[in-house]
Structure 1
């Protein structure tokens, strides 16, 4: 269903209120009065057979009798009437319906369908869009639209607020009104039967009147659409989210063998970070964050210095900063000397700068100037406690005058009421972030730090995966198929290790033995010392159940340990089945950290990767971070850094720093494994030992199940489509590889752009372009394969990529109906067939995904582009708004080609 129809939802020229009423207190009455109060310039059409007029407006007995086709219909009638009304609206030609009626999912019709199912079916038949059911409605002050049963009007502003909760929506309306906060849009989603977060974000990202988007979210109905929309919008405007149902820990619902602390909340945390969003935890912080984003200069780092004339407030700010993962700036020796000797400031290592209680405006000004000059300081918090010796306003003025043109962020905390309030107004007028309490200031500073990190993640050039990582999915699939043919839901320990080894995940040599005698024989082959474990699907915690023996030095020790284990199993777990024994080489790494990682299935987001602290401490402290495949080395590092244990992995007093590259690579390998092998349901690398020498998996388990889904269909983020790679050859004999662009291509793409002539760039970008910034190149190479495609052609030498020679790029609208393309080939390769190869590749791909129309805009003088377009049958039109532009259009004939499983 088309996103374009949302214009009729947010900017309707006419609205029908079905169920409009004169009965005080009814939804139909409240909605009708809100609509009239909103000031919509177009007609408002009440529909109710019981009234000749509603609120003084002529009413119509039914939809058929309406004198025109309403852009938007508001349905405020009982649930059993809604399916029939939808049919009438569809026949009438209405394109958007807002359903306020409740419980459509609880009532069945005569065929056994829920009313909600019938409504959705009718909407699809008539190409209608639905907001709701069970929603508070929408308010768009700029359009004069108040299609809600909210109890208050809202002021016009630049914030778009989208809520999945009516109750919270009403509370926000009331709260924002008391604070004088305005909105560009206020949207209640209700049950998200059709229009959901993804649709709304896609619409709002292009709305010039919405500078930020705020979300209250309880769940996601279409994960891939939501993440694609959020990642796209986050590049242009802030997205701030509150996630309801924070303590739902049901992420691992069916994995009986994993006592995993991964929660739904952990998963949403990872999703929000991946999408470049900022997560906050209450309404005050939500709106504070938006204001902070408007006032903060771009953060260049997270090293905060605190300057205060009071010890207690400074310590409060420091404690909140550290609790939220921040740290104080470590001042340079020169700065320390200037502060101590020039101002008699109190200093200790990495602590707030304390000046005298009755510090004057000159003292504040001088101290601030010294801190601004320190290269170790990225931002400064200035705290003032009122005294009888100096005016709060005078000191505020001195601080403002001291800032000059510094690019560093300075945030202020002026304690007190009357005098401080005037000082805070001075800061607000100067565009300086200012707060009433130190904890509020520290919290908002860390919100900005987290937001900056998430934004950087959207633009960061990934580290390269080692070139020798080339797994063999077919070999792994054969192992899994054999286990499924035997009706097993778990791989054996040797099978698990073999699959992990295929993906070059380092594992300890492991063998399976049917009985004690075989275990003894295997032990001689593996060599000593050894570990011996019971193999039983009923015994998961082998260490505490007595099913594990370590440091066995002989085959006799193996026999004795096996006998003792069997005795303990019979006494303590008489119902447990014994499948044999697992024999492993002992690993002695005394300085290693014990970690865990794995893959689990989430009902909303599909496969999810997690990483964290292992052993008992990990279970107690639940120190885990989650992320979505596909991963690269940069994204793997981000997951690791979002655990508490990460700070000890690289900087521990008693242990050398671990080989972080090896740890990150394990997560990347896990990601590729779950992409390639859809039959894998869960992976639990229960024990990973990591130290300076690398990382090795001691204990792992994999669960499997038959599936009809292709690998990428299960994923919330579409992975690199390797199946689209193909080799080609130009008439000159030059061998090429045509493939989708990858994030790792940024550096080679920079080289390609630099080799383009000024004329090539002018034709491609319709203007003079001199250079590309990192963020621009990141947007060109780090694409969302669901929304965009770029095929690059590269010269191949000895089987390896040599250089990029040309690129064709397509931007698809969210409805996948139209795409705009652009193509550029290096000047020295023009008229040699490369442009034809690239254009043919893109057209074939667009047909495959069912696109309806391919469009491009070219300069009228771009004869090369015109000739290429004619070759492929494009229709050419003059742009009515610019005579120098030619519009190229190609109607697509679908030829669906399914990617390989």
Structure 2
């Protein structure tokens, strides 16, 4: 990932158009007209040997003839000329170019390289960044820059739009202009030969002109890079994604049920959710989401109250909420009493003796503006209401503007979201404008208003996943990774890539999963012997790698209570397989102890390998009908308890697991433990490409694996085994135990589960130590700050803690050393904090040396930091470690720098 030189692309002071033309309708003429007509205040150069002058603009014959090196070049010449032009620009000093030319991937140069590769090779020595090829261009309305072939410009605004489709870009520009929607940036990525989604997200995340980021995604190639950039951007501003659905879903071959379930679209949804972004499915939803997220207050719950001046529109909104999976607010008794006092009788459809407390609140036709304000005032005070949707239908007796003016002051002062729907056309235009000025999201239909609220709900859920600190995972068994790896290596050496149930269970056992006793048998006699050893009753299942569902060939028989029954079942299964699938391989039988769980639920837990995002996890309702039930969720590893719980909660079976009637609740902790251990397994062992645990039977006592199968493949040795994961897992290899003050001290990367210990660490700091670290006085850490400190992206930053057990046997944090690198890994900013009562004992130096070793190994160019003048300890320490320290003349801040390259 890299943001190097992107400032020349998105904020150039001079632009050269290479291929400028006077020929009407040509790309060169269109670009020239747009560059001149956009109001760009910088220098503009035209390059084309055919012209001396283009209008009032001098035209130069070549790049070499330009009076100076332009910050940005825009290239629209034939494909064969592009590599040489890029080389000339790099030699001249240009550091960014937009390439609109198409066909570079197909064309070849004299050396046989694709023109695309030749262009990259030409740019590389000069760090010249390329947008495109086949880009539709770039607009930065705040600079008056229109380096695009769009037929209309963009209005200035706070939205950054990034598109992988040039044709969609021009259509959206036209659509947005008619609706008065403005942009900070409008970027067509084209082929993304160099600058891609990850690079642009990194740049826009720190660009103050972009208040929200919209992405149109067609396909992704570098999931790890994208996820790292997306998670960083989503922490700072709303990121909304529109992606076309894959037309290959369901067609991907898989040797497992998990592989068949986890479609490309499911995996992309899981990635967007994990990154804290919001996915939408239409262009209308895309821009509606921007207004909703930009205007609405922060949502702290999911209960919506609906207010309408007529029963019909209110009921339509309520139905849309119900069918969308939303929650209608149930009003408190106090609110009902207050509404009874200010609204006409029958406002909630109540009958004598049967008061109705759920919304919609019907203000009745002809409701005056004061009635809207009175009802809204009551609802905003109700602790059982998290947001309010006001639906207004125009009437002959009440001016819609008066209604908007009545509720606008309440909307401005409210601490929770208020959304408004103004039904109608010209008669409510002014009301919509008043509502928008009061920062109320406005919609044209009740259904649109509800959909806006549901976008808030989904965005809140995704942000919570990004920010929530999970509880400790203490008590979870540490896996025997070496034993599992040995079993996998042994199977691959024997070329057994599709593992049977007994072989898979041996690997799962190393990760602490509870398993029903299972033995493999090569024939009927061996099956009888296995049953005798296990004890009756048993289940016998046929082993064949060529049939995914054993029950399809009569390959499962349960409750066998004698040797004769076992032998007869085995013989019958073998014959049945030969009749139905004569080509299928026969590997013997699996003999299992019968698992009797009267109130057990059958679940599936599995893993599959996505071609873009790598390993993914599947959870849902299991059994023989798993694919028909269509009740499953997909997530990305690694998991913690919060993420595992979310994976469960997104299925319908979660409600069954909670218990109902006289059926006790299932042991959810056991299910979460299985998910986390499976997440660890597929993160640890790259050779595992598919896994099915089906069924995993769970009841109030726990969870036990009945059936399992696994597919292996030779791991790609071209890079790190962790590179296949879209999100880098906890880097266990960086753990280190040292002796300190006569006792062992563990130095390790911070984990999300360290939240409670980190709070205790913060509380143990003196106010001055907090100020030295934060540069301001802070009394307590907010939840979002705690999540930011403990839930880090190990690809981008590192935080090491020094930890040991206290007298109560609980691990405590004694010191924290943190380093955050820029996306290019050229410079990394550090901070070290030692618990106030442990200063002067060498712990700060230990942590700093750990950071330096880490940065050297990672190839970081330099480590930098700042310190207040009063923080003499840190300054003295880093000087001993070789840092250069300079003093800022304005405020006396100490600037510290250690060159590592």
Global fold match (TM > 0.5): yes
CA distance in 2, matches of 1:402, 1:163: 38
Aligned to 2:164: 164
CA distance in 2, matches of 1:714, 1:349: 52
**Contact 2:613 2:725 (8 Å CA) reproduced:** yes
Is there any run of 5+ residues in structure 1 with no aligned partner, and where? 894-901
1:313-332 pair list within 5 angstroms = 313-332=313-332
**Contact 1:383 1:413 (8 Å CA) reproduced:** yes
1:30-69 pair list within 5 angstroms = 30-69=30-69
Match of 1:738 among 731, 747, 750: 747
SS of the residue aligned with 2:260? coil
1:252-271 pair list within 5 angstroms = 252-253=252-253, 255=255, 260-271=260-271
CA distance in 2, matches of 1:483, 1:601: 19
**How far apart are residue 486 of structure 1 and its match?**
0.6
**How far apart are residue 485 of structure 1 and its match?**
1.0
CA distance in 1, matches of 2:37, 2:401: 43
Question: Is 1:723 paired with 2:725?
Answer: no
Question: Is 1:833 paired with 2:842?
Answer: yes
Q: Deviations over 1:719-753 (max 9, x none)?
A: 111111111223x4243211111111111111111
1:215-294 pair list within 5 angstroms = 215-249=215-249, 252-253=252-253, 255=255, 260-294=260-294
Question: Is 1:850 paired with 2:852?
Answer: no
CA distance in 2, matches of 1:28, 1:667: 56
**How far apart are residue 198 of structure 1 and its match?**
1.0
Question: Is 1:864 paired with 2:873?
Answer: yes
Instruction: Classify 1:670/1:554 alpha carbon distance in 2 versus 1 (closer, same or farther; 3 Å).
Output: same
Question: Is 1:581 paired with 2:589?
Answer: yes
CA distance in 2, matches of 1:836, 1:400: 57
**How far apart are residue 792 of structure 1 and its match?**
1.2
Q: TM-score under structure 1 normalisation?
A: 0.95
Instruction: Classify 1:796/1:42 alpha carbon distance in 2 versus 1 (closer, same or farther; 3 Å).
Output: same
CA distance in 2, matches of 1:297, 1:797: 43
Is there any run of 5+ residues in structure 2 with no aligned partner, and where? 351-355
**Contact 1:28 1:76 (8 Å CA) reproduced:** yes
Question: Is 1:303 paired with 2:316?
Answer: no
**Contact 1:158 1:183 (8 Å CA) reproduced:** yes
Q: Deviations over 1:99-141 (max 9, x none)?
A: 1111211122343321112222222232221111111010001
**Contact 2:806 2:812 (8 Å CA) reproduced:** no
CA distance in 2, matches of 1:94, 1:400: 51
SS of the residue aligned with 1:36? helix
Question: Is 1:382 paired with 2:390?
Answer: yes
Aligned residues: 891
Aligned to 1:619: 627
Instruction: Classify 1:161/1:651 alpha carbon distance in 2 versus 1 (closer, same or farther; 3 Å).
Output: farther
**How far apart are residue 447 of structure 1 and its match?**
0.0
- For structure 1, which segment, 561-570 or 266-275, has the greater mean C-alpha deviation from structure 2 after superposition? 561-570
**Contact 2:256 2:691 (8 Å CA) reproduced:** no
**How far apart are residue 78 of structure 1 and its match?**
1.3
**Contact 2:469 2:786 (8 Å CA) reproduced:** no
CA distance in 2, matches of 1:12, 1:298: 36
Question: Is 1:679 paired with 2:687?
Answer: yes
CA distance in 2, matches of 1:809, 1:547: 56
**How far apart are residue 258 of structure 1 and its match?**
5.8
Instruction: Classify 1:852/1:711 alpha carbon distance in 2 versus 1 (closer, same or farther; 3 Å).
Output: same
Q: Deviations over 1:387-424 (max 9, x none)?
A: 45544444444444666844232222232334433333
Aligned to 2:346: 344
Question: Is 1:768 paired with 2:777?
Answer: yes
CA distance in 2, matches of 1:840, 1:672: 30
CA distance in 2, matches of 1:782, 1:426: 41
Aligned to 1:712: 722
CA distance in 1, matches of 2:240, 2:142: 22
SS of the residue aligned with 1:806? strand
CA distance in 1, matches of 2:599, 2:365: 48
Question: Is 1:8 paired with 2:17?
Answer: no
Q: Deviations over 1:651-694 (max 9, x none)?
A: 64574332222212211111100111111111122322233332
CA distance in 1, matches of 2:304, 2:556: 49
Instruction: Classify 1:140/1:355 alpha carbon distance in 2 versus 1 (closer, same or farther; 3 Å).
Output: closer
**How far apart are residue 39 of structure 1 and its match?**
2.5
Q: TM-score under structure 2 normalisation?
A: 0.95
Q: Deviations over 1:861-896 (max 9, x none)?
A: 32211211111111122225x341121111104xxx
- For structure 1, which segment, 428-437 or 288-297, has the greater mean C-alpha deviation from structure 2 after superposition? 428-437
Aligned to 1:820: 829
Question: Is 1:152 paired with 2:123?
Answer: no
